[in-house]
Structure formats: structure tokens, C-alpha cells
Amino acid sequence: MDKSKIRQLVLSYLWITLASAVYAIGFDWCYVPNQIGFGGITGVGQIVNHFLPFAPIGTVVIILNIPLFLLGWRLLGGHLLFSSLYAMFVSSVFTDLFAALIPFQPMDPMLATIFGGLLVGLSLGAVLLQGATTGGTDLLARLLKLKMTWLPMGKLLMAVDLVVIAAVALTFRNFSSALYGVVSLYISSVAMDMILYGMDQAKVAYIISSRPKEVAQAILGDLDRGVTVLHGMGAWSGEEKQVLLCAFKQRQIVPLKRMVRAIDPEAFLIVCDAHEVLGDGFRSYQQNEL
């Protein structure tokens, strides 16, 4: 293994470690002291800890994850299994460590719901970006993603976790706990999808101009972006027109608009959001990606 791959691997595990610490802080600070329903195996750990206070939540999570990791080994391969084992172990250790060292006090339940969902969602998204999971329903959702490729990870995880949140609410005999848990779960899934898919934002422009060749050459030369020429026709005029299609980075939107306006002030420009743009100049497709 060359130095660049070793450096990339070390950086990946540093990110997993940091994200696992944030996950543990979000759980210990926002969920546990406020008895907010938490999904997944960690939520099951909450239930076990409630009835068996001597059983730390992190330790329970490790034990319950064993069968899921055995299944993950068969379906996802060794690399994801090892990185997920590391993420699960580190997040569980951090969960028990922070709970033992820091006496987190209850806060306003809505604040705990919002910030707990944000911290957990952002941290899980960061872990998944590194090709790992924290085990439990994260791993289960990752396995389901193999069959339901069209569903975002956040939505898959939310569906799996709803059942556990209901069980946590029954355990604590607190219906409000379930309601807060559902809100927090939704915030978490949105934050996770933002990290997984929103960070890859790009734009697509459709340009209808009376000077299409000049506009296309400017985009190719100045912005270093490819242009596809589509053939269209004006519905009212019946005139044949060339429509330029161009995918570009978010930061290039202002230079593009200025460029088009300078060449043809009368040009018709439509700019749309685009996600997961694959190809030259963007990212490449990876098998079994999220």
C-alpha cells in the first residue's frame, strides 16, 4: 500500500473517531437525561439500561450488534465490516465514557430534540461518508440500501428506527417521549441526507441564445465545463433553436451568468439544482455507493 492510500486511510479513521465522539455527545447530552425516544440498537440499549441499570448502554449496544455484523460480513465485505466495527466500538466507548465523566442535566425537551437530532444526523452522515456505519439499524439500513437503491439512507434509517422509538416510549411510559423522538429522528434523517447528498450539490443550466456557438466556446474555455447542444423549437414562433445544457459547480453560477449576459443580453437562462452529478469534472460512480 503506497503512502497516499495509507494517509487517506488514517484520515478516514480520524473522521470516524471524531464523528463517533459527536454522536456520543449528542446521545448523552440530549437524549438520555431528557428521556427522548432514540431509535436503533442504541434505543434498545436505553430500554435494557432502564430495566438493568448496571448494564451500560454502550456495552449493550456492542453485544446486540454481533449478529448484524455477521450478516454484514456476508453481504458487504470485510472493509465495511472492519470500519463499522471500529465506529461501533468507538462510539459505544465514548457513550459510556461521557456518561461516566460528565453529569449531563435535563434541558428544554424541544432544544434537546432539535440539537440531538442535528448532532446525531451529522455524525452518522460523516461516518457513512467514510464507508462505515455505527452498527445497529445504521448497518441494517445499509443492508436494505442494497435492495432499495432508490431510497435515501436517511429515509431508510428513519423507517427502521420508528419501531424502536415506540418501544422506548412504552418503556418510559411517556407518549411525549415518542413524539419528541419522531421529531428528532426526522431532523436526524434530514441532516444525514444533507451530509451524504447535499454536499455534492451542483447546478445545471439551460441556455437559449441567438449566439449559441460563442456562449458554448466561452463556457468551454473560461469555465472549463462541457456543453451539450440540444435541438429545440419555439412553440410560438416555430423557429429552430439550439439549447445549451451545462452542468457546473455551485461556485461557478455567478461567472456563468455574467458570461452569458456579456455575450447575449437577451439570452434565456434557466438554472436548476442538481444532485449526484457523475462524470468528468465531478465524481465517479462507485459500486454499492449510498
Q: What is the pLDDT of residues 162-195, one digit of tens each?
A: 777 777 777 777 778 788 888 988 898 888 878 8
Give the start-to-end residue ranges of the domains of the chain. Answer: 3-199, 202-274
Q: What is the pLDDT of residues 13-28, one digit of tens each?
A: 899 999 999 999 998 9
HSE-up of 157 (CA within 13 Å, CB side)? 32
Q: What is the pLDDT of residues 79-122, one digit of tens each?
A: 667 787 788 788 888 988 998 888 888 889 899 999 999 999 99
Query: Are 199 and 282 contacting, i.e. CB atoms less than 8 angstroms apart?
Result: no
* 286 has pLDDT over 60: no
Q: What is the pLDDT of residues 225-261, one digit of tens each?
A: 889 999 988 888 888 889 999 988 877 888 889 999 9
Provide the CATH topology of domain 202-274. Answer: Alpha-Beta Plaits (3.30.70)
